[in-house]
Structure 1
């Protein structure tokens, strides 16, 4: 799915107006009882534009599930599909393609994209350990694609914190 040279489909992400309620749905309907939950406010995180959100991650059958609750007024790209009246919703938002290797592999991968066809609408980094960019694929796929790279040690540390289903 979403094959690109040097990258693999690694994640499906949903935005929600209530992270706790969304996690309860995943627990009750899909057997995902635990998520790794955090806010994306890590020191050194740089994004353009700046976004703040609550995030929950679980690895389900080898694909990471990401639930995102945009903080009010802080993440318009993620909030745009949610109701504005405060009612509950959970909507598919993006699939992620993870680039393995070193940072130069990510840079080469991004340089291989036709940005006229796949425009970058958000990008960011965390020091020397993470890079990401979102491309707008709504006209063809109906959603965004996230292109992401982690330093291998950072990825291992993150993966160790994320619950895995079914349990190994």
Structure 2
């Protein structure tokens, strides 16, 4: 438990082949996966500049922790692209979720954390920021606003995972991460 961010709620993996990675996790009994091929962001900035980053995302839960798989779909600047371009693949970030995003964001900045990239999915209550903590911790720290529809969707994913019987391991193309 972090006195700054709270409990870890998500582990994010940046991968080259999201389909293969979903199947690798399914073989370990983790699922079902909620897959979005073309995630639509409201905005996305990388190191303070707009970036036309495109990505696919798959989400599933293992107990209380959400597993996120991310595959960049273009060469636009992002911390995801940096990670893959450095020759790595796998765990890239841990995330903390909050109902009071702005207060946590401001606190992190006041403590000296620097934003590597940030954006929003599904409106003002879908904001996220990735703090560039890799040199300090070996991974990125993400904070994500769950006070709106995204939080409801994340709750639903967790509930479905609790009673998943192995059927429908990949739940098609979800419109957006709402």
Deviations 1:1-44 (A, max 9, x none): 4x14464321000010000111111112x2124200013115xx
CA shift for structure 1 position 129: 2.2
Relative to the length of structure 2, the TM-score reads: 0.75
Give per-residue Cα distances to partners, 1:109-133, cap 9 Å, x unaligned.
1111245732111111242221111
TM-score scaled by structure 1?
A: 0.79
Write the deviation string for residues 31-59 of structure 1: whole angstroms up to 9, x where unpaired: 124200013115xx111143210000001
Confirm or deny that 1:135 pairs with 2:131: yes
8 Å contact from structure 1 (residues 34, 163) kept in 2: no
3-state SS of 1:80 partner: helix
Deviating beyond 6 angstroms after TM superposition, the runs of 4 or more aligned structure 1 residues are none
**Gaps (5+ residues) in structure 1?**
none
Does the 8 Å CA contact 2:31/2:62 hold for their aligned counterparts? no
Name the SS of the counterpart of 1:129 in structure 2. helix
2:176 aligns with: none
State the distance in 2 between where 1:129 and 1:150 align: 7
Which residue pairs with 1:15 in the alignment? 14
Residue matched to 1:72: 74
Q: Counting helix residues as a fraction of each chain, which structure ranks higher?
A: 2
1:90-101 counterparts in 2 under 5 A? 90-100=89-99
Gaps of 5+ in 2: 165-178
* Residue 60 (structure 2) pairs with residue 63 (structure 1): no
**SS of the counterpart of 1:112?**
helix
CA distance 1:48–1:157, change in 2 (3 Å): same
